[in-house]
Amino acid sequence: MGRIWIILALAVFVENVQAQDTIRIGAPLPITGALAIESSKQQRGYDLWAKLVNSSGGINVNGKYYKVDIVYLDYQSDNKKVRKVVETLVIQEKVHLLFAPYGSNAARRASPIAQLYKIPMIAVTASSKQVYSRGHEYIFGNFTPNETLTEPITDLVKQNLPQVTKIAILARKDLFPKSIARAINQSTQVNGINNVLYRNYPVDSTDHTDVLLELKASQPDWIFVSGYMFDLVKIRKEMAELEIKAPIVTMIAAPAYQEFIDSTGALAENITSAAWWHPAVQYAGEDVFGTTENFVKRFQEQYGSTPDYVEASAALAGALFQMAIERAGTTEGKMVRDELARMDEITFWGPVKFGANGQNDSLVPPVFQIQNGKPVIIYPKEIATGQLQVGIK
């Protein structure tokens, strides 16, 4: 009997030592359900960073190296389940840090938990200002505000197509799509482009025929649709079936993903969009990845594909946590949080400086257009590889 107790005690000791030598990061994700594709992108970015860190010995905390353990929990693409999943990560899994769930709505629901337990959380895919508007000090976001995407697109249209005077806007009834729709509405109105249709479509909608027929009747010069992968692929195909065309068609955010181009084929041609990062940018960073080129190379070696902005932002979140921990010399929440708040860095992603509300305010996101089956950057001019083209098939 004594021998059994010794074995059990040894097992507990080993487990405790391993736990002490590991930095646990909670990652609530919509692993199943309608946002599963988006979820897999965040996970690829996290895993790439963790693999690089662990293969290099871990995160240096005052001379001692700690391995990274990312704890994934599925909230099944149901934002109502986010709070419970995040609480489970904090209370039961005892994570030191948090990656925010996918999108602005889910990140906003997770933020109070991070604030309550004083656990720093980095939002990988949350751009809406509402996420950062409640005075919470433990949430930080890699994305700049939505207008940093819509204002450059509007400027490009005004410069190249002054005859465009009418825009129709469709948005998924969700926080980020609705926020980006409001941003484009404001950007275009300031520039004298009139809104002839402004509609929200349900999150679970699988047939958009009625609203698209209404859009067609409004005869817009510019069609703007905001949503996620499943809806935007479906809407683009329905537009073709209903023979809906316009000189400019913009969709955010799915065209940034290769899956959108693969799913829509020729129908992706000349779709404009914007994102917070593109593999064509070139930065020499102070993070673990170093240059943009090195990050892209490592991603391609790991996954056999070119990373998009979600995958890059996820990897960036890990790299920022690593920098903050090493500078703080601890995983203690308040000290890591303070290091994040002080950051003013150039990374493989680009400039990162968190404003007073925790949102990155120093990045210039690129605008691109699908041309000949590939994304071509058309803004900013410093990295542009093409010019705005008119019309869709």
- Please report the domains of the chain, with CATH numbers, ordered by start residue: 2-144+280-353 (3.40.50.2300), 147-275+366-379 (3.40.50.2300)
Q: The tokens of 24 are what?
A: 């646990």
**Whole-angstrom Cα distance, residue 211 to residue 197?**
10
In terms of Cβ atoms closer than 10 Å to its own Cβ (0-12, 13-18, 19+), residue 1 is: exposed
Q: Is the per-residue pLDDT at 154 higher than 80? A: yes
Residue 383 pLDDT = 84
Nearest 5 degrees, angle CA 381-CA 382-CA 383?
Answer: 90
Q: How many CB atoms lie within 10 A of CB 113?
A: 24
Q: Is the per-residue pLDDT at 12 higher than 70? A: no
In terms of Cβ atoms closer than 10 Å to its own Cβ (0-12, 13-18, 19+), residue 266 is: exposed
Q: Write out pLDDT tens, residues 269-317.
A: 999 999 999 888 889 999 999 999 999 999 999 999 999 999 999 999 9
Q: Is the per-residue pLDDT at 15 higher than 90? A: no
CA 4 from centre of chain: 50
In Å, what is the CA distance from 135 to each residue of 138, 139, 323, 357?
Answer: 9, 10, 24, 7
Q: Is the per-residue pLDDT at 328 higher than 90? A: yes
**What's the whole-model pTM score?**
0.84
Q: How confident is the model at residue 10 (pLDDT cuts 50, 70, 90)?
A: very low
Residue 20 pLDDT = 56
Q: How confident is the model at residue 73 (pLDDT cuts 50, 70, 90)?
A: very high
Q: Is the per-residue pLDDT at 51 higher than 70? A: yes
Residue 5 pLDDT = 45
Residue 280 pLDDT = 83
> Average pLDDT of 374-385?
89
Residue 55 pLDDT = 96
> Average pLDDT of 177-186?
95
> Average pLDDT of 226-255?
95
User: Which residues, at least 6 apart from 18, have a Cβ–Cβ distance to it below 8 Å?
Assistant: none
Largest CA distance in the chain: 87
Provide the CB-side half-sphere exposure for 244 (13 A, CA).
Answer: 26
Rounded to the nearest integer, the mean pLDDT of the chain is 92
Lowest mean pLDDT of 2-6, 211-215, 256-260, name the range: 2-6
Residue 391 pLDDT = 85
User: Higher model confidence: residue 277 or residue 7?
Assistant: 277
Q: How many CB atoms lie within 10 A of CB 196?
A: 17
pLDDT > 90 fraction of the chain, expressed in percent and rounded: 85
Fill in the amino acid letter for 143.
F
